[in-house]
Amino acid sequence: SRKEADPGGDLLLVGLFSAVMAHFIETQLCIATVATRLHWWLYVGLAAAMLWRSAGADEGKAGSPGGPASGEDAEVLPAAWIGMAACTSLAMMVLLFGLYQTSLGWRAQAPALALLVGSTWVGGMIASAGDAGGRLRRRLTAFAVRTAVAFLLFAGVYVPWTSWRPRAAVKLVRFAAQQSHATSVLYAAIFLVLIASAWQGAGGRSCAGGGGRLRKLRWAVGLGLLLLAAASIVRTNLDAARADCFAKQAQVYQQSGQWDAAAVLYQEAIRLQPRQDEYRAGRAMALAAKKACQQGAGPAADRLLAEATSLLERALRRSPLDFRHPRAMAKVYQFWASLSGGDVERLARAEMADAFYCQAAARIPNYVPIRNEWSGLWLEHAQLPRARAIAQEALRVDDRWGATRLLLARIHVAAGDDQAALRELEEATDGQNVPAAAWAEKARVLGHLGDLKAAIDCARSAVAGEPGNCGYRKNLALLYQRDGQIGPALEEARAAYGSAPADEQESLGRLIRELTDAQPPGP
C-alpha cells in the first residue's frame, strides 16, 4: 500500500543513500573524480522524473472510469522500473568515468571494469524484475536494451576521447581541453538519460485523456526547470570539473619541472574558476620555481611563494575541512625550505610543512600519497628516522602501494642499507603495472651491489615503461658500459641525448665521446 501511495519512493531512498556513499568514497579514498554535487543534481532530476511519472499515472486513472489498466495494457503505464533503468545506466557511466585510467590501458582494466559494471547491470536488472509478473521476459529485455545502449553510447565517446594524446608540446592546452571536454560528455550523457526517463514517465497513453491543458502546463514548467538546471549545472559544477582537469595536468608538468606549461594550465583553470585560490597559489608556486631555476633563491621567488601561502590561507578559511588546501600549503613550504639559505630557516619551513602535512593526513587518513609526500619531506632533510616512521605508517594503511615501497627503499639507501632497500624493491616490482621509477631504483641498487646482469634487466624495464626519460636511458648506458657492452651503451646514450633537456646534454655528450673512443676499430 505504501508503494501505491508513493511510487518510486524506495528508488529515491536508494539514490539518496548512493549520494551519501559517493561523498564518503570521494572524501576518504579520493578515487572519485565526479563531484558529489553531481550526485545531488542527478537524484533531484530523477525525483522530478518519478513525480512526473506519478502525476501522469494519476491523471490516467482520473480520466479512465475503469481505473488502471490490466493485463498487457498495464505495461503502457509508466512503471517504476524505468527509473531503475535510468539509475542503473547512470551508475554504469559514473563507474567508467571515475575508475577508467588512460595510463593503465584498456586491456589491463577491462576485467575489473567488466566485473563492476556488469554486476551493477545485473543488480539493476534483478531489482527491476520484482513486480513483472507474467511479463518478466519482456521487462528484462526492455531493461537490458535501454541500459546497454545508453552505457555503450557513453563509453564509445568517452574512452577514445580521454585516450587521445598530443604529439607536440604546442598542443598542450588543447590536450587538456580535450580531457576536460570528456567531463562534458559525462554530464551530457546524464542529462540525456534524465530527459529520456522523464519523457517515458510523462509520455504514456495514460496522459492522452482529459486534462490536456494541465499536461501542457506541466511540460512547459518542466522544460523551463530543465533549462534552468542545465545552466546551473554548467555554472556551478561542470566548469569546476573542467578547471580541475586543467589543474591536474598542471600538477603533472609542475612535478616534472616544466614551469611555463604548468603556469599556462593553471591560468586556464583560473579562467574557469576565478574564485579558486588554490589554482592561483599553484600558478604562483610554478612561477616561483621558474624564478629560482633562472636566478636562484632571491626576493622574487620569496615574494611569489609568500603570495601562494596568502592565497592558500584564504582558501583554508573558506573551506577548513578540505584536505587539498593544507596539502598544497605543505608543498609550498617544502619547496620554500629547499630554497632557504640558512639551516635554521630551512628547518623552520620544513617544520611548517610538517604541520600542514599532519593536518592533511588527519582529514583524509586513508589517502596514502599524502603520507608518502610527508615522508619525502624528511628524506630531503636527511632526517631518516622521521621519514621511515611516516612511510611505515603509510604501509600500514596499504601494504600493496608500490610507491611507498619505493620510498622506503630510498630511505634504506640513504641509510646505507642496500640489502633492506632491495627487499623493499622486490615487493614494489612484484606485480603488474609496476612504475618505471621502481625499476630504475632497483637497477641502481643492483648496480651498486655489483649484480650487473640483473641491474641491466631492471634498467631495460624502466626504459620500456618511460621511453622518453633520458635519465633512465643514461643509467642503462652506464650499466652497459660497466658490463663492457660498448655498442648498446652508445646506442642508449645517443637516444638519451635526443630527449635530454639542455642542462643534461653536455654530460651526455661527454659520455658519447667516451664511448665512441672506447669502441674497437672496425675491420
Q: What are 359-381's pLDDT values in tens digits?
A: 999 988 888 899 999 999 999 99
Query: Is 407:372 a contact under the CB 8 Å cutoff?
Result: yes
> In the predicted model, is pLDDT for residue 20 greater than 80?
no
> In the predicted model, is pLDDT for residue 213 greater than 80?
no
- The reported pLDDT for the residue numbered 66 is 42
Name the range with the highest mean pLDDT among 283-287, 335-339, 352-356: 352-356
pTM: 0.58
The residue to which cell 602535512 is assigned: 357
Beta carbons within 10 angstroms of residue 25's beta carbon: 14
Of 175-179, 245-249, 275-279, 322-326, give the lowest mean pLDDT range: 175-179
Query: Cα angle at 251 between 249 and 252, to 5 degrees?
Result: 65
- The reported pLDDT for the residue numbered 408 is 92
What is the Cα–Cα distance from 277 to 275, expressed in whole angstroms?
6
What is the Cα–Cα distance from 490 to 513, expressed in whole angstroms?
9
C-alpha grid cell, residue 422: 632491495
Average pLDDT over residues 187-198: 63
- pLDDT above 70 covers a percentage of the chain that reads 66
C-alpha grid cell, residue 250: 598542471
The tens digit of pLDDT for each residue in 140-166 reads 888 888 888 888 887 877 777 665 543
The tens digit of pLDDT for each residue in 434-443 reads 888 889 989 9
What is the Cα–Cα distance from 333 to 338, expressed in whole angstroms?
9
Q: Residue 121 carries which side chain, given as an amino acid letter? A: W
- C-alpha pair distances (Å), 471 with each of 35, 139, 147, 505: 38, 59, 48, 11
Beta carbons within 10 angstroms of residue 173's beta carbon: 16
Average pLDDT over residues 243-258: 77
Angle between helices 324-339 and 368-380 (to 10 degrees): 10
- The reported pLDDT for the residue numbered 68 is 42
- C-alpha pair distances (Å), 72 with each of 76, 135, 169, 378: 8, 8, 61, 72
The tens digit of pLDDT for each residue in 292-315 reads 776 666 787 888 888 888 888 888
HEC letters along 221-283: HHHHHHHHHHHHHHHHHHHHHHHHHHHHHHHHHHHCCCHHHHHHHHHHHHHHCCCCHHHHHHH
Beta carbons within 10 angstroms of residue 499's beta carbon: 13
Average pLDDT over residues 74-93: 65
- pLDDT above 90 covers a percentage of the chain that reads 13
The tens digit of pLDDT for each residue in 37-67 reads 555 555 555 555 555 554 444 444 444 444 4
Q: Quick one: which of 374, 263, 342 has its CA closest to 308?
A: 263
Q: Residue 234 carries which side chain, given as an amino acid letter? A: V
Q: Quick one: which of 427, 463, 467 has its CA closest to 443?
A: 463
- The reported pLDDT for the residue numbered 394 is 92
What is the chain's mean pLDDT, rounded? 74
- The reported pLDDT for the residue numbered 470 is 85
- The reported pLDDT for the residue numbered 62 is 45
